Structure 1
Amino acid sequence: MDLELGNEDIRILRQIQNGIPLEKKPFQKIARNLGLNLHSLLDRLREFDEKGVISRFGASLNYRKLGYKANAMVVWDVSDERVDEIGEKISEFEEVTHCYLRPRIPGKWRYNLYCMIHAGAKKECEEIIHKIANRVGIEPEKYGSLYSVRAFKRKGIKL
Structure 2
Amino acid sequence: MDPVDLEILKCIQDGIPIVKRPFFEVAKSIGIDEKEIIARLNRLIDEGKIRRFAASLAHRKVGIDANAMCVWDVPDERIEEVGSICASFPEVTHCYERPRVDDWQYNLFTMVHGRTKEECEEIVQRIASRIKIDNYIILFSEKEYKKTGVRL
Give the residue type in structure 2 aligned to 1:157.
V
Q: Distance in 1 between matches of 2:62 and 2:23?
A: 28
Aligned residues: 152
Give 2:147's aligned residue.
Answer: 154
Q: Distance in 2 between matches of 1:136 and 1:36?
A: 50
1:17-36 alignment runs, 5 A limit: 17-36=13-32
Partner of 2:144: helix, strand, or coil?
coil
Give the residue type in structure 2 aligned to 1:118.
H
Give the residue type in structure 2 aligned to 1:99.
C
Give the residue type in structure 2 aligned to 1:135.
R
Give 2:124's aligned residue.
Answer: 129
Unpaired segments of 5 or more residues in structure 2? none
Unpaired segments of 5 or more residues in structure 1? none
Q: Distance in 2 between matches of 1:23 and 1:96?
A: 32
Deviation at 1:131, TM superposition (A): 1.4
Give the residue type in structure 2 aligned to 1:138.
I
Give 1:65's aligned residue.
Answer: 61
Deviation at 1:116, TM superposition (A): 0.9
1:1-159 alignment runs, 5 A limit: 3=1, 5-6=2-3, 8-105=4-101, 107-139=102-134, 142-159=135-152
Q: Normalized against structure 1, the TM-score is what?
A: 0.87
Q: Normalized against structure 2, the TM-score is what?
A: 0.91
Give the residue type in structure 2 aligned to 1:98.
H
Q: CA RMSD in A?
A: 1.5
